[in-house]
Amino acid sequence: MRGQIIQITMGARKKGASMDITTTQAFKAQLLGMRERLLAQIAQQRGGAKSRAEVAAEHFARSEDATAQVNTARDLEFALNEHETAELSAIDAALERLSAGTYGHCTDCDATIPPARLSVAPEAARCIACQETFERHPS
């Protein structure tokens, strides 16, 4: 019955069981790497010259001008910034869940998020079902 020991360690499927420390560390490293790349990407897109506040200020200055023509290049850039900002906060939130010990659990229904999903999207906060609901009805 040598196989039994392996079965016990592999079969840690107790509902609500926390992730083991190795898995947690791996996701943390992955998230930190993503964060770094994203920050570098944002810095590069802004030419390193503009702060987030400056970009936002420019955007709002434009929006207030009712007769302003739509500057598609600028709008596109701003949309990209928003996307990246959202991604960055998703990564930060995931890192917070890691330190809080709630990582890997859906923030909506508390179900365990499948590791396969997390390895593709380590910043995922919701299980697939809740994410689909969220995307259909964003609050």
Beta bridge pairs of residue 105: 112
Q: Which of 108, 112, 133, 134 binds Zn ion (CB under 5 A)?
A: 108
Site track for Zn ion across 64-103, x = CB under 5 A: ----------------------------------------
Beta bridge pairs of residue 112: 105
User: CA–CA separation, 95 vs 124, rounded Å?
Assistant: 11
Question: CA angle, 44 as apex, 41 and 47 as ends, to 5°?
Answer: 155
CB of 87 closer than 8 Å to CB of 122: no
User: CA–CA separation, 133 vs 106, rounded Å?
Assistant: 13
Of 41-49, 63-71, 76-84, 122-130, the window that binds Zn ion (rule: CB under 5 A) is 122-130
CB 109, min distance to Zn ion, A: 3
Using CB under 5 A, count the residues that bind Zn ion. 6
Q: Which of 31, 34, 95, 130 binds Zn ion (CB under 5 A)?
A: 130
Of 11-19, 34-42, 51-59, 109-117, the window that binds Zn ion (rule: CB under 5 A) is 109-117
CB of 110 closer than 8 Å to CB of 130: no
SS3 105: strand
Asked whether position 109 contacts Zn ion by CB under 5 A, the answer is yes
CB 130, min distance to Zn ion, A: 3
